[in-house]
Amino acid sequence: MGDSMAGAPWDTQLLECLFDSRVCIVSCFCAPCQLAHQKAIIENKECNPMDAMIIYFCAICCQVKIRQDVRMKYNIEGTLCSDICASLICGVCAVAQQHRQLQLKGDRPQGCLME
């Protein structure tokens, strides 16, 4: 499940976080908050502090799961293995890419310091 290569590519590249300094900085210093807001959008619910706490203590597992959920919601190509690699190799870039994807699709991930 979630191991499908079929679908469209991400709307932005993984390393494009370097060109969006605000999202990159917030993703770097407040990744659990960013991920909690992304999770809330994917699950169509309100974000709460408990979401951020769970993500803080289970960071990599939660990050991979949220990335997989973003891919599935927007039918983005990739595999569980690619989600794990992106999260482990450049977690900040992956969180920022997910944020930009949600923004481009019309969802508004608020997160810390984000409008």
Assess whether pLDDT exceeds 50 at residue 112. no
Assess whether pLDDT exceeds 50 at residue 114. no
Q: What is the largest CA-CA distance in the chain?
A: 35
Q: For position 78, what pLDDT does the model report?
A: 95
Q: For position 113, what pLDDT does the model report?
A: 43
65-106 tens-digit pLDDT: 999 999 999 999 999 999 999 999 999 999 999 999 998 888
Distance, CA of 109 to chain centre: 10
Q: For position 115, what pLDDT does the model report?
A: 46
Q: For position 83, what pLDDT does the model report?
A: 96
Q: For position 73, what pLDDT does the model report?
A: 92
Nearest-10 Cα torsion for 66, 94, 87, 111 = -50
Q: For position 22, what pLDDT does the model report?
A: 84
Burial of 22 (0-12, 13-18, 19+ CB in 10 A): exposed
CA torsion sign, 100 to 83 to 3 to 36? negative
Can you give the pTM of this predicted structure?
Answer: 0.84
18-64 tens-digit pLDDT: 888 888 888 888 888 889 989 989 998 888 888 888 898 988 999 99
